Structure 1
Amino acid sequence: MKKNGILDVKYSLTQILYFASFSALMGYASVYLLDKGVSNSVIGTTLALVSIIAVFTQPMAASAVDKKVIRLQPLIIVIVALAVILSLCLYFFKLPTIILLCVFVGVVTCMMTIQPLLNSLAFLFEKYGIEVNYGLARGLGSAAYALASAVLGYLVEDFGTSMIPLFYIIGNILLIVVVYTYVVPKNQRHVVHREENQHEEVKQEQLSFFQFCSIYKKFMIFVVGVILVFFTHTIINNFFIQVITPIGGTESQMGIAVFIAAIVELPAMAMFNVMRKKIDCSTLLKISVIIFGLKHLLTFLATNVFMVYVAQVLQIGAYAIFIPASVYYVNEVISKPDLVKGQSMVTVGITASGIIANLAGGILLDTIGVHDLLMIGVVVSVIGALIVFMSIEKKRASIE
């Protein structure tokens, strides 16, 4: 595989802009909606609804790309453009609560739908003989998430929650511009034409969702484990202000906590290509789910904001390892014609955890409180880690 510096820069910018926008959208969802008079239960229900919709839109979008119904690049642009239009409605108009929630659901759904597509974008150029450094780009995305979260914490305290939609409007407009500029170098285009001619006679019919589940049974059990591991992760991220307020935390301290977790992801993700050459992705995934459990346990035991900061540092071995490891793991255990669908299944699993976590989290916060909710989350996270351990596979000898 050859390297192409311009494509590496563009892909890094794509991840940076996406996650900077996503930090404002999801990291401050509770802050934004609470300020609009929405209760915890309704916030949880709203985020759960987004997750339910995304469970369908993510594989649908992936399937459309796999079946060559639409190319990956224009599909991403169309979805992000729709998110921008809806975001402008949030920023410029004072909407009734029910309309506001519907528009918010639309924005988040768009952004969650393109997440697996952006992962697949990293491997789009492999057929042209070009390798993109996914780990570095994803690490820079986490750094952008960190910086955006920290900055937003202070901006919201000083200027109010109107800064939140403005932030992701700007970020998404820039994202459209960057994705639009993706161009394969002319001297590499002949590679894909040659490969397409060689494989023209062995084109494979695309699998339906149920066919995929039937063929990749162990992989789907792995996805179930992912759902459980990410249950507490989702609760902490989406209800962070509710988690730290009882121990004396503020919006700016929440921003700092999110900054810590996201910034420590950068070195781990940037060095991931080096790590995976020495340690199997299956082993890295096992390590990551163990550290996830430790992070959730420490957050549960936290009695002050400093302990939350310490827990956030563990992100370096949890989310920071899991995300790139899972992306490469899919490429190792899923056949080439089903790769986009395979990438979407992991994202769907994380999204499905959002359905449970957001719906249950909002209701349980209003009924049993944050302490007991985090205790339940620790138990669920441990069960998920055990399932991941039992279902993980070694790299297949031949993936066609």
Structure 2
Amino acid sequence: MLTARYAVVQSSYWSAFCLIVNFASVYLLAHGLSNAQIGVLLAVAGAVATVVQPIVAGIVDRSRVPLRLWLVLGGIVVAALAAALLPQGEGFLTAVTYGLLVALVQVVQPLVNSLGMAAVAQGFRVNFGVARACGSVTFALLSVGAGALIAARSAKAVALLLIVAAAVFVAGSATFILRHPAAPATDYAASSVSRKRAAAEAAGEPAVGHRDPARLSDPPALDRRAWKLFSLLLVGIMLGMTSHTLVNAFLFQIVDFHGGDAGAMGLAAMVAAMVELPTMVFFERLISRWTPGTLLIVGGIGFAVKNLAAYLAPNLAVLYLSQVLQFAGFGLVIPATVYYVNRLFPAALRVRGQAYITMTFSAGSVVGALIGGVVLDAAGVPMLLLVGTVAATVGAVFVWFGADRR
């Protein structure tokens, strides 16, 4: 089943993301970095990713190499960098290596999304929401498992687990092959997919997957007004992701403020990841009833409400409850942006459109990481969460005016 194979790609990707991003503070604090230094490192890595993402997307758009092989290459590099973290090196080299991992995992994200949406655009039955939900389940379980392992052993467990996640990602990406004896491809991977189908026909190989008779229509090019609205939307999403980063990147410090440890941080991350599941599993039903633009507006408001709840939380138990609101923020925005780009952009520009969205996520991560480390050292956790609440609220306003509800 094609959805199951895509779920392996999503699950292994989000496993790597969990280990690299969510446990960044745990790993880097253990290697002697301060909150401000961690913030600068994450910000620089995010800035690098923001610059590199459109370049990589453009190369992939023009490349005759199948997208899955680009993902294989990315997974191999992640594994190599993780292996480089295993020896106890000096702080500077460790920070640089970790920064490269943070940048790379963000650069790969739009390619992972495009892999599934390319199959959908070509008519194959791939349930993006279910596959992405599997990523959330893996993220949740790994958050708890890795947190407990780190608390019991050491931060070196991050690198070991990351090598395993990268190996699964490489295997899942390498085997995500689309074969069917008919119908032309309709997006950037057309040439490579057509060659594979022709080869399959010639060899008499069985078709893999099913085709959906309801193909995606190709929208016209964006006019000036559409670009302006899209820009407003991107600003709003960036501010929402800034607030998200202020909580996620510094979740260990927030949990520590309430008396918790790495295990408690893992549990908090698990709660957030698990509540994303209903949203993602049933996203196709949501998208059949409401447009992606409308769902993005709800997601923008969700970011603001979640951050406000975290700010008001008096103890660890209430902080866990605030994490439940993840379903209405990040859990909704991630799949909604993917479908929004597919509906707004013509097929030839969809990888680039996904890159614009991921660039925005990265930009929000940069701002959040940079501000977060400084605010933490200067004013502490309550001010960090207040800044996040303000950013999310302003972001929700931008999304309201920028999202195309049609």
Q: Deviations over 1:362-389 (max 9, x none)?
A: 1111111111121122111100100000
Q: Is residue 301 of structure 1 aligned with residue 312 of structure 2?
A: yes
SS in 1 for 2:237: helix
Question: Structure 2 matches for 1:297-376, cutoff 5 A?
Answer: 297-376=308-387
2:246 aligns with one of 228, 231, 235 = 235
Uncovered stretches (5+) of structure 2, i.e. residues with no partner:
192-220
Query: What does residue 278 of structure 2 align with?
Result: 267
Letter matched to residue 134 of structure 2: L
Partners of 2:258 and 2:224 in 1: CA distance: 44
Question: Structure 2 matches for 1:106-125, cutoff 5 A?
Answer: 106-125=100-119
Q: Is residue 73 of structure 1 aligned with residue 84 of structure 2?
A: no
Query: What does residue 45 of structure 1 align with?
Result: 40
Letter matched to residue 170 of structure 2: I
Alignment size in residue pairs: 376
Q: Give, in angstroms, the shift of residue 221 of structure 1.
A: 1.5
Partners of 1:275 and 1:66 in 2: CA distance: 30
SS in 2 for 1:264: helix
Partners of 2:308 and 2:149 in 1: CA distance: 31
Name the CA shift for 1:168/1:228 in 2 (closer, same or farther; >3 Å). same
Letter matched to residue 360 of structure 1: I
Report runs of 4+ in structure 1 exceeding 6 Å deviation. 211-215
Partners of 2:150 and 2:291 in 1: CA distance: 42
1:63 aligns with one of 58, 63, 73 = 58
Query: What does residue 216 of structure 2 align with?
Result: none
Letter matched to residue 275 of structure 1: L
| TM-score (norm. length: structure 2) | 0.88
Partners of 1:353 and 1:128 in 2: CA distance: 32
Q: Give, in angstroms, the shift of residue 25 of structure 1.
A: 1.2
Name the CA shift for 1:388/1:215 in 2 (closer, same or farther; >3 Å). closer
Query: What does residue 144 of structure 1 align with?
Result: 138
Partners of 2:185 and 2:29 in 1: CA distance: 50
Name the CA shift for 1:385/1:127 in 2 (closer, same or farther; >3 Å). closer
Letter matched to residue 191 of structure 1: P
Aligned partners of 1:129 and 1:191 also within 8 Å: no
Q: What is the RMSD of the two structures over their aligned residues, measured on CA atoms?
A: 2.1
SS in 2 for 1:130: coil
Letter matched to residue 4 of structure 2: V
Aligned partners of 1:123 and 1:131 also within 8 Å: no
Query: What does residue 11 of structure 2 align with?
Result: 16
Partners of 1:128 and 1:229 in 2: CA distance: 32
Aligned partners of 1:213 and 1:220 also within 8 Å: no
Aligned partners of 1:22 and 1:168 also within 8 Å: no
Q: Is residue 104 of structure 1 aligned with residue 98 of structure 2?
A: yes
Q: Give, in angstroms, the shift of residue 131 of structure 1.
A: 2.7
Q: Give, in angstroms, the shift of residue 191 of structure 1.
A: 3.0
Partners of 1:82 and 1:49 in 2: CA distance: 19
Q: Give, in angstroms, the shift of residue 323 of structure 1.
A: 0.8
Matched residues, percent identical? 31
Q: Give, in angstroms, the shift of residue 96 of structure 1.
A: 1.0
Instruction: Identify which range, 104-113 or 262-271, moves more after superposition.
Output: 104-113
Aligned partners of 2:243 and 2:303 also within 8 Å: no
Q: Deviations over 1:283-311 (max 9, x none)?
A: 11111111211110010011101111110
1:385 aligns with one of 367, 384, 396 = 396
